Amino acid sequence: MKYFPNQDERREVNIEYSNFSLSLEDFGSVDAIHDRFILEPLRWWAVHGSSAPKLQALAFKLLGQPSSSSCCERNWSTYKFIHSATRNKIMQQRAEDLVFVHTNLRLLSRRSSAYKEGPNKMWDVGCDQFDSLDDLNIGRLVFEDPSLDEPELELCLMRR
């Protein structure tokens, strides 16, 4: 319902999904079934998903997301901060509850106007999700040529 709030679209997607899961129509072809074990999922949907355009678009969105462990590592870092060597008498459940509260307070702070408009508004451009920077009209990072301010030293280093 989140991706397809319109009931008619949702019905179309459900029909497309049933065709996919039961290997009906184009999904039942020998190539489509054989390629499930050979191609990467994103490539499989590009090749064989044309008969289910709504499901194909959803597959592209989901499979095109980069995976990252940064959220888990941020959670572990918070846990380490709360349950450190100096605070090792905290019970495990209490430490987990404090991590939960800390994480949710951080997420709630993103809704404040100070977060969106303040001096640190760009400190976590990616947040915990992947957003295209094109939508934000930020532009691209530009790579500069590294240069030392001393040309003689730079020549010595580049020769090695």
- pLDDT tens digits in sequence order for the chain, 160 residues long: 888 889 999 999 999 999 999 999 999 999 999 999 999 999 999 999 999 999 999 898 888 887 777 778 888 888 888 877 777 778 888 888 888 888 888 888 877 777 777 766 655 544 544 444 444 444 444 444 555 455 665 565 556 5
Q: What is the pTM of this model?
A: 0.49
Token digits of residue 41: 């999922």
Q: Which residues contact 17 (CB under 8 A, 6 or more apart)?
A: 52, 55
User: Residue 39: what pLDDT?
Assistant: 93
User: Residue 81: what pLDDT?
Assistant: 82
DSSP 31-49: HHHHHTTTS-HHHHHHHH-
User: Residue 30: what pLDDT?
Assistant: 94
Token digits of residue 158: 């580049």
Q: From residue 84, how far is each of 77, 80, 95, 104, 138 by CA, in Å?
A: 10, 6, 10, 21, 39
> Which stretches of 28-99 are assigned E, i.e. beta strand?
none
User: Residue 52: what pLDDT?
Assistant: 93
